[in-house]
Amino acid sequence: MEFPMRINKYLAHTGVASRREADELITKNKVQINGEAAVMGQQVNENDKVNVLGKTKAKSYLAYYKGRGIITHSPASHETDIATRLAKDYGISHVSPIGRLDKDSEGLMIISNDGRITGPLLDPESDHEKEYDVMVDKRVSGMFVRAMTAGVDIEGYRTKPAKVTASTKNDKRFSIILTEGKKHQIRRMCAALGYQIQTLRRVRVMNIEIGKLKPNQYRKIQGDELKMFMAELGLK
């Protein structure tokens, strides 16, 4: 860490709270620097003693399988979102989805109450890998694989190079690893090449794999898996 730094950034870097949560703690006079109440925007030096009064929320990290038809955020009145399913089926209400996966797609979502991971995980410049298993409406040709790998022009934007592998068991199926996340990107890439997606499933985010999860199932991310995930995000 480079000092001096703002108190909310310091608390985020040391794993105490996200910057937003840190600001709330400061507002409630629960943060002290060298024995005195911290103020918003205050700078912390390397030898300062920072103390947080009371307990902060325990951090939770979940790998969740979002099924088709489920909304990640802000559902309409007739729709169901992830938060509603988690609360109804498991009594889990203290976490939120990080990022999005469109309604017609399925697969892995990272769910957490740790606001620190949102920025690093979704940063388009971070090059974090996301892997998808895709079924299309016709045979995956060598030309299609080469084009998807090199990058596709979608409405004036050329996608970054990707890793694309055709299935050896089904000639309409392929896997793709992206390091970016434009809206409906894979669907738009396929459409630009004359293909329509039948199914799209996200199977991995960085080192977190969907494994044997089924729709609406979750598991905790913990141990070495969590340590690697946080390290890749530049967090403790």
Under DSSP, is residue 231 helix (H, G, I), strand (E, B) or coil? helix
The per-residue pLDDT for 55 is 65
Residue 69: pLDDT band (50, 70, 90) is very high
Q: Does 102 qualify as catalytic in the annotation?
A: yes
pLDDT digits 0-9 by tens, 78-119: 999 999 999 999 999 888 999 999 999 999 999 999 888 988
Q: Given this structure, which CATH class describes domain 61-123+208-232?
A: alpha beta
Domain parsing of the chain, residue ranges: 5-52, 61-123+208-232, 130-205
Predicted confidence (pLDDT) at residue 162 exceeds the cutoff of 80: yes
Domains 61-123+208-232 and 130-205 share a fold: yes
Residue 1: pLDDT band (50, 70, 90) is low
Predicted confidence (pLDDT) at residue 15 exceeds the cutoff of 80: no
How far apart are alpha carbons 51 and 106 in whole angstroms?
43
Predicted confidence (pLDDT) at residue 13 exceeds the cutoff of 80: no
**CB neighbours of 236 closer than 8 A, spacing ≥ 6?**
13, 14, 15, 230
3-state helix, strand, coil in the chain (%, to 5): 25, 30, 45
CB atoms closer than 10 angstroms to residue 19: 18
Q: Which residues is 180 bridged to in the sheet? A: none
pLDDT digits 0-9 by tens, 19-38: 888 899 999 999 999 999 99
Report the percentage of the chain scoring pLDDT > 90: 78
Predicted confidence (pLDDT) at residue 49 exceeds the cutoff of 80: yes
Catalytic residue selected from 48, 81, 89, 102: 102
Residues 70, 220, 21: CA angle, nearest 5 degrees: 85
Predicted TM-score (pTM) of this structure? 0.81
Question: Quick check: 32 and 53 in contact, CB under 8 A?
Answer: yes
The architecture that CATH gives domain 130-205 is 2-Layer Sandwich (3.30)
How far the first Cα of the chain sits from its last, in Å, is 12
How far apart are alpha carbons 99 and 193 in whole angstroms?
26
According to CATH, the topology of domain 5-52 is 3.10.290
pLDDT digits 0-9 by tens, 225-236: 999 999 999 887
In terms of Cα–Cα distance, which of 146, 152, 150 is closest to 174? Answer: 146
- Burial (Cβ within 10 Å: 0-12, 13-18, ≥19) of residue 114: buried
